[in-house]
Copies of this chain bind each other. A is one copy, B any other.
């Protein structure tokens, strides 16, 4: 268990949202941890192969990773103008998504859901 491995794993523990390799790397840098980008990729691949993290693809093709959990997580409502963000949980929607996926024979489902708009301050 190296320092770098520790750092990546620990950061994933503290992160609920699906996050890109690039951003994880940037955050480690910002936190003063010196971990190479290549190493972040290597770690993410190992963790993904070991089934410890989930990965999905974002709209623009980036790979996003998140520690596997069966627990709840939350989503964001983001203002396209000023970036203001409201967190919300979507318990009902998640159950609905799992049910819909299951109805088509899919397992290990993950979902991405983001809502954007213009907040009242920017309107």
Q: Which residues of A line the B interface, CB within 8 A?
A: 56-59, 61-63, 77, 79-80, 86, 88, 92-93, 96-97, 100-101, 104-120, 123
Chain B residue at minimum C-beta to C-beta distance from A109: B117
Asked if A111 and B104 make an inter-chain contact with CB atoms under 8 angstroms apart, the answer reads no
Complex interface: chain B residues within 8 A of A117 (CB):
101, 106-110
Chain B residue at minimum C-beta to C-beta distance from A121: B105
CA distance A92 to B104 in the complex (A): 18
Complex interface: chain B residues within 8 A of A123 (CB):
105, 107
Q: What 5 A-B pairs come out closest when comparing CB atoms?
A: A105-B120, A106-B117, A109-B117, A57-B57, A61-B61
Asked if A109 and B115 make an inter-chain contact with CB atoms under 8 angstroms apart, the answer reads yes
Complex interface: chain B residues within 8 A of A61 (CB):
57, 61-63
Given the known A-B contacts A57-B61, A77-B106, A123-B107, are A100 and B115 also in contact in the complex, defined by CB atoms under 8 Å?
Answer: yes
CA distance A62 to B62 in the complex (A): 10
Asked if B109 and A112 make an inter-chain contact with CB atoms under 8 angstroms apart, the answer reads no
Complex interface: chain B residues within 8 A of A112 (CB):
59, 112-116
